[in-house]
Structure 1
Amino acid sequence: MQDIYQEITDRMIAELEKGKIPWHCPWRPEEWRHRNLISGKPYRGINAILLAMSPYASPFWLTMRQLRKLGGKLRPNEGGTAVVFWKLFEKDEDTVLPVLRFYTVYNLEQTYGIPAKHIPQLPPRAIIEFNPIEAAEEIIAGYEECPPIIHGGNSASYSPSQDRIRMPNRIQFENEEEYYSTLFHEATHSTGHKSRLNRPGMEHISFGSEVYSKEELIAEMGAAFLCTQTGIEHATIKNSAAYIQNWLEHLRNDKKLVLQAAQKAQKAVDYILKPVQTQEKAA
């Protein structure tokens, strides 16, 4: 039986062993986000990470059925990329369970024969104007339930008991990007508060515990997703050997860690960007 959690974890471990942190996705302008060619919907959560690991420049992906429907064909010897989705399985009349499934997508660069009218024309990435610092400010300003942000001291943290974020003064950071990526990390933590998304264990997290490790990965991924959206380099943690080794150990001990963390990180980011809509979906 196919173990999807293990397969995804193995792909993450392979990247970490190369010295790469797979959830630190490189920035792409909004028009260039990885998305389905037919629906135009961007991929999210773990799928955004999985596709960012691919070598293709095109942001467009499609299934084999979609490719054939458009009259296109797959180039010889091309393999697909596995992404995931949840499918509801009816166990009995009263029980419906979500089951994780793989499906395969192909990048536009792996195909030929699709009529040009079906392929959106994108502006060159080099000429797209963008102000990442302004975009970062807008995200924090738009986080309607953001707890108080207290500046001062030498460390960044989020306190669930006090429900507030502590940040060093901006001048203590090497650059603005590092300041915002750190703030995004702590803001992601804050979404777990009982008054917001109420992530289990947030009120009594002890350093080095299993809950701590999971929450740190959620915050890391949440910060990476927000940095990707605003055009900021995710500079919260450097690609140090010790940092990479730490995550290798955690992933080898928990095959569900990375996928569950990505799912919760995406939910946290959705909450920061559109808290009302997120609450409606949850209800």
Structure 2
Amino acid sequence: GVDAFYAPGFDYVQVPPQAAFPEPADWYRTALHELGHWVGGKGRLERDQTGHFGSEAYAREELTAELTSAFTCAALGIEPSVRHSDYIATWLHLIRADEKAIFRAASAASKAADWLLSCGQRQD
């Protein structure tokens, strides 16, 4: 498909093909963002993903997913993108309303990034 998203009800991640992105790093960043949502799903880290667009719960989950992408990209040596900081800036209202929101999101994102990075090391 042309859209990137995680569908919690179906436990499904969709990301357009790499050719749809101007730079390979953009595809990785987007895929890792959506996988950041996925790893928070049932049977994994089980974060609250019930928020609707514009809600505080939605903002928390988006901030966590974007930080997961940024942390995972950094760990994998994928060149940083201005996109991470621009996207995170859209959730500043959450950070301003709750001074600990960024720390909670960073903690959840660190767990998610560690979980994703461990997938490549698993020998199931």
Q: Identify the TM-score tier after normalising by the shorter chain.
A: 0.7 to 0.9
Question: Equivalents in 1 of 2:53, 2:82: separation in Å?
Answer: 18
- Counterpart residue number, 2:103: 259
Larger helix proportion of the pair: 2
| Per-residue deviation, 1:235 | 3.6
8 A Cα contact 1:251 1:257, kept in partner: yes
Q: Indicate the structure with greater strand content.
A: 1
Residue in 2 aligned with 1:273?
A: 117
Write out aligned runs for 1:1-283 (5 A).
153-200=1-48, 202=49, 204-235=50-81, 237=83, 240=86, 244=89, 246-274=90-118
User: Partner letter of residue 268 of structure 1?
Assistant: A
> Quick one: structure 1 residues 265 and 271, their matched pair in 2 at CA, closer, same or farther if it must change by over 3 Å?
same
Aligned residues: 119
Counterpart CA distance in 2 for 1:160 and 1:262 is: 21
CA distance in 1, matches of 2:46, 2:84: 29
Q: Which has the larger radius of gyration?
A: 1
> Quick one: which amino acid aligns to residue 199 of structure 1?
R
Alpha-carbon shift at residue 274 of structure 1 (Å): 2.4
- Stretches of structure 2 that go unaligned for 5 or more consecutive residues are 120-124
How far has the Cα of 1:243 moved from its partner? 6.2
Output the CA distance in 2 between the equivalents of 1:274 and 1:218: 18
Q: CA 1:243–1:273 in structure 2 vs 1: closer, same or farther (change >3 Å)?
A: closer
* Aligned residue type for 2:17: N
Residue pair 1:185, 1:236 contacting (<8 A) in 2 also: no
Q: Superposition RMSD on alpha carbons, in Å?
A: 2.0
* C-alpha spacing 1:158/1:235, structure 2 compared with 1 (3 Å): farther
- Cα deviation 1:64-117 (Å, max 9, x = unaligned): xxxxxxxxxxxxxxxxxxxxxxxxxxxxxxxxxxxxxxxxxxxxxxxxxxxxxx
Change (3 A) 1:243 1:264: closer
TM-score normalized by the length of structure 1: 0.39
Between the aligned residues of both structures, percent identity stands at 38
Report the CA distance between 1:239 and its aligned residue: 5.2
